[in-house]
Structure 1
Amino acid sequence: MRTIIRVLGVAVALAASTSMAAAATVELNFWDQVWGPAPYAQRAQALVEEFNKSQSEIKVTYRSVPWANWYETYVTAIASGSAPDISTGAGFQAVQFYSMDAILPVDDLVAQMESDGTAKDFAPGTLDAMKYDGHYVGLPWAIDLRSLFYRKDVLDAAGQKVPTTWSELRAVAKAVTKDGTYGLVSSGDSTGMHWILAAMVNNGGGLFDADRKPNLTGDKSLEALDFLSGFVSDGSLNPASTGYTNDDARGSFFAGKAAFYLSSPATADQAGTDKDKIGVVPPLTSPSGQKGTISWINNIMIYKQTQHPEETLRFLRWWSDHQKVLWTEGKAGGIPARLSYQADDFFTQNDQLSFVIKTYLPVIKPMSASAGGTFPELNEIDGDGFMMSLMQKIWQGQPVKDAVGPAQEHLSEIMSQ
């Protein structure tokens, strides 16, 4: 009888101990956008598991979030009280959600990184891009930008050289278009819309003027839209582009059915055995004499709904210090915000990526160019879809003057809310 009681007592004590240990484990939810091909989410999931195994106080659950309806996904989660503890997201997601009182500033973490010298490892301007209303609303992790790729074999077959200006690009695109091969392939989804942003900032225009007023109808912006429309009138654009998804457009480019394709820096690495047939067009000189392309500073943010801010900050610091594998193994699409990661052999020995870092990074411009800075409306503009509609109309051959009016009006509505 004593033996039975003693055994039961030990069992109860062990159960209580296990229960206390379980209660002591903080559980966090991490939502992460799809930043690359299939290996990305797989490697990100594995990296979360590595963090979980590295300590016993915190357990992070990983969720891969697709870009389709991403804006609605987060807004709904915040409104329903089911936001994650931490997430990556669109370039201006943190600042808009901060304005909605949904984001927890990471000032203390940035101060810690400044104190131990880590802050110097962030590329110039990336930390500043996270600052709004006197607070750091997120931590930068990647620089997303759009660079122009070309098929060496398509240009060689037509006896064409790599263009350096807008006029040369249009001429080369027209010269290679024949027998089912086009000068340009794009898509009718959000990635196709990046042609508008890239061309406008390349020409010194953009969504806004210096006073932050909508400027789609400004001279330099209209000149950029007319430039894009020219590919349609020349017959150089694959006419299926409007109905294409980005996967369709990329597949056409990889198959050698188009000479030029605008995409993220790691595009060539997804081309398999055709990688060496793909080159990067140097930043083009626009009619205004400027060079430039669109960029976003992708960030990680912490939500105010978290019940464990200290533990979430701890995970965020660990993630920032260990995320190089998201590129080297996960094939993430952007360029790391950390300079030490950019210096890795994975980038320096990759012809396409190293060329993008050397030539495109110095001329990148944000969606807020020419206005400068960051503001909440940018996130709604990024996820609203009206710019995508404008791109579709242009790719369908509608006159620019007819297509741009509704877009300018909608942009004004967003900015006046």
Structure 2
Amino acid sequence: MSYTVDRRGLLRAAGAGAAALGLGGALASCGSDESETATLTWWDYFTLDNFQPGMNRLIRDVEAGVPNVRIQRRTFPFAELDRQITLGAISGERPDIAIVDNVAMNTLGGSDLLADLTGRVEAWGQADQYYEGPWDSCRIGGKVLGIPNNSNCLALYYNTRMLESAGVEPPTTWDELASAAERLTSGGRFGLALSAIKSEEGVFQFLPFLWQAGGDLDTFATDGATALSFLHDLIAKGSLSESCLGWTQQDVNTRFMNQRAALQINGPWQIPTLKQADFDWGVVALPRDQEAATCLGGENWVLMAQSENLDKAWEVLEYTQRPSVLVPYLVSFGNLPAREDLADRGAWASDPALRLFLSQLPLARPRRYGRGYADASQAISEAEQAVLTGSASPSAAARTAAAKIDKALSGR
């Protein structure tokens, strides 16, 4: 997950939208031969109050629609869930079902903790309904180890009045972005805001630049240097604040809301807050260099391999993918569907900003790099910090990071 914001505004609109679409309520599942109720343990990290109505509704739908099932839910802080699942291999305390950040598949998917769903998915026959990026995030080592729960990605927001006043069109290329950011910088206002914080949140925002340069982690020494140079030049020209090194994506949106940045890179989870802005704004695809790219965010469903209720847990996952269940859930969370066949259902069908993000999902790349990704991500973050603070040149930082990345991923 790459967001932590309050979505109460969207929740109110979502309830009305779902009711209007007639998508509420659960569908009864086919009959079952089981005579006893199975209690499934369900773990996730959706702890904020504004997530609870949607999650509670989903669980009620599941319990009403899947025969002989009760859900026992437990929540953890975002940073703790993966560790608790891993520790469960030792303690024996593990869930039957979990909703995990899709980047966690790098670590969890490289162990024997997750159930192999390949055969079940083939029998189910709905894999081709999903966007390629979200579905690929569930495929590890030739196996299907999860089902997408929801999706998001990054795009470029702009302040309409500021661009019109400066005679600037929304940029579509790196050259146009650099030029627009420079022209839009004035006084205490920067042309562009983005997050370069030393965490996965910052790496989430950096990777599109690497991919747009035509590279990937295995070409970081060269293409990473190109991406780092581009960001360094933005700071050198005063178009991007060096403070971005400490900004979360929420901080970035606050700068944009306060009109201290004319452009921002961010995700669809900021839309509920932006709808309260007292200025007009729009959103376009991330500007491209050698190619177009954005980074895939969101969560996946996973099942534990040692679950004593694996068949019933799979029934639950399959049930959550029914449009009558999935659409209200996604709308309540302010998320986008990972399923292409739901593109014309829900709030995203009529909201231009959400539709822009939805249109980018086919380009959204998962961070699917294997068990060493956490170390590779740290190396990327260190390189970006070094370059943007001026303590290392882009080429030197990229070479140093490339050596660490190669070592981290050598076990792939």
What is the TM-score normalised by the length of structure 1?
0.79
Change in Cα spacing, 1:409 to 1:375, as seen in structure 2 (3 Å) is closer
On the 8 A contact 2:133/2:361 being kept in 1, the answer is: no
Change in Cα spacing, 1:282 to 1:103, as seen in structure 2 (3 Å) is closer
Q: Does 1:361 align with 2:361?
A: yes
On the 8 A contact 1:93/1:379 being kept in 2, the answer is: no
Alpha-carbon distance, 1:302 to partner: 0.6
Q: List 4+ stretches of structure 1 deviating above 6 A.
A: none
More displaced 10-residue stretch of structure 1: 77-86 or 310-319 = 77-86
Q: Give unpaired runs (5+ residues) of structure 1.
A: 1-22, 209-214, 368-373
Give the equivalent residue in structure 2 for 1:199: 209
On the 8 A contact 1:28/1:61 being kept in 2, the answer is: yes
Distance 2:390 2:161 in 1: 28
Alpha-carbon distance, 1:238 to partner: 2.4
Give the equivalent residue in structure 2 for 1:324: 327
Distance 2:330 2:279 in 1: 19
On the 8 A contact 1:164/1:284 being kept in 2, the answer is: yes
On the 8 A contact 1:39/1:331 being kept in 2, the answer is: no
Q: Does 1:112 align with 2:123?
A: yes
Distance 2:382 2:363 in 1: 27
Q: Does 1:238 align with 2:241?
A: yes
On the 8 A contact 1:28/1:58 being kept in 2, the answer is: yes
On the 8 A contact 1:81/1:305 being kept in 2, the answer is: no
Give the match's secondary structure for 2:150: strand
Number of residue equivalences? 372
Give the equivalent residue in structure 1 for 2:348: 347
Give the equivalent residue in structure 1 for 2:150: 142
Change in Cα spacing, 1:67 to 1:297, as seen in structure 2 (3 Å) is closer
- Out of 370, 381, 389, the position equivalent to 2:382 is 389
Give the equivalent residue in structure 1 for 2:313: 312
The two structures, once aligned, show a CA RMSD in angstroms of: 2.8
Change in Cα spacing, 1:375 to 1:228, as seen in structure 2 (3 Å) is closer
Give the match's secondary structure for 2:57: helix
Distance 1:83 1:73 in 2: 8
- Out of 137, 150, 156, the position equivalent to 2:164 is 156
Distance 1:67 1:381 in 2: 19
Alpha-carbon distance, 1:264 to partner: 2.0
Q: Which amino acid aligns with 1:291?
A: A
- Out of 95, 103, 107, the position equivalent to 2:114 is 103
Q: Give unpaired runs (5+ residues) of structure 2.
A: 1-34
More displaced 10-residue stretch of structure 1: 268-277 or 337-346 = 268-277
Give the equivalent residue in structure 1 for 2:221: 217
- Out of 244, 264, 270, the position equivalent to 1:261 is 264
Alpha-carbon distance, 1:349 to partner: 0.8
Alpha-carbon distance, 1:261 to partner: 1.8
Distance 1:259 1:202 in 2: 22
- Quote the sequence identity (%): 20
Who wins on radius of gyration, i.e. which is larger?
1
Give the equivalent residue in structure 2 for 1:123: 131
Give the equivalent residue in structure 2 for 1:67: 78
Alpha-carbon distance, 1:149 to partner: 1.7
Alpha-carbon distance, 1:41 to partner: 4.4
Alpha-carbon distance, 1:124 to partner: 4.4
Give the equivalent residue in structure 2 for 1:370: none
Distance 2:203 2:278 in 1: 25
The Cα offsets for residues 164-192 of structure 1, whole Å up to 9 and x where unpaired, read as 21111111111222222111223314322
Distance 1:278 1:75 in 2: 43
Distance 1:395 1:66 in 2: 30
Give the match's secondary structure for 1:27: strand
- Out of 176, 180, 188, the position equivalent to 2:188 is 180
Give the match's secondary structure for 2:187: coil
On the 8 A contact 2:82/2:108 being kept in 1, the answer is: no
Q: Which amino acid aligns with 1:413?
A: K
Change in Cα spacing, 1:251 to 1:283, as seen in structure 2 (3 Å) is closer
Distance 1:233 1:90 in 2: 34
Distance 2:306 2:362 in 1: 37
Alpha-carbon distance, 1:378 to partner: 6.0
- Out of 227, 231, 234, the position equivalent to 1:228 is 231
